[in-house]
Amino acid sequence: MRLERSALIHYLNTTPASVSASWYKIGKDVEDMSVDLAASVEKAKNILDETSVRHTGYEASASVNTYYADPDDAFYSFIEGIALGRKKGDDCKTEVLEVVVKDTEDSSHVAYKEDAIIEVQSYGGPQGGVSIPYTIHFSGNRVEGTVTFDSSKKPTFAPA
């Protein structure tokens, strides 16, 4: 049976400097979000008309086009620091957690954790809220594992 879109969940660690991660669930006001893999693929044809393909990796990113600033949000202070504090480099570094919930009855779910850099696109926007769209750049150190959820639906990642 086809998975609902809500079966693929992305989280960002809002406390990257801490020992334990605080995972913020992305997507409250987002109707559409995809991870663009931007695969590096090189093709070459030899004199025998044979085509060889070299797949050398990915430069994955995901654009979150709708985020409305909410000081009650765990993610707000992190992104405010980047946008208004003009933070750069390692100050924009955190972790992204991807979880696939194939069956809500399962006790654990497939998950991947990876380092990420947050790039804020802009802030402000039209009336109705303070819009801060941003891009998540996956920056390596990808770890496969599983996630379990507690009673308040907070995820805990365990590497495989």
Partner 1 sequence: MSEIVNYDLTGTDSISEAVKTLLNSCPFLDEGETVSFASLQETGGIAFYPTGGAVVLNERRSITDHISQECLYNFAIVNRSYGQNERRKMTAKEFTDSLGKWLERQSVSVGGALYKLESYPDLTGGREIRSISRQSSATLDATTEDQSELWVINMRLTYRNEYDEQL
Our CB check for partner 1 shows the closer of 30 and 143 to be 30
Per the DSSP assignment, residues forming a β-bridge with 111 are 99, 145
With CB under 8 A as the contact rule, the residue among 2, 4, 17, 18 that binds partner 1 is: 4
CB of 9 to partner 1, least distance (A): 7
Q: In 10 A of CB 115, how many CB atoms? A: 17
Binding mask 15-54 for partner 1 (x = CB under 8 A): ----------xxxxxxxxx---------------------
153 contributes a contact to partner 1 by CB under 8 A: yes
Q: DSSP code of 22?
A: -
Q: What is the spatial distance between Cα 93 and Cα 83, in angstroms, rounded to a whole number?
A: 14
CB of 68 to partner 1, least distance (A): 11
72 contributes a contact to partner 1 by CB under 8 A: no
Radius of gyration of the chain from Cα atoms?
18
Q: What is the spatial distance between Cα 69 and Cα 78, in angstroms, rounded to a whole number?
A: 11
The answer to whether the beta carbons of residues 111 and 98 sit under 8 Å apart is: yes
Footprint of partner 1 (CB under 8 A): 4-6, 8-9, 25-33, 153
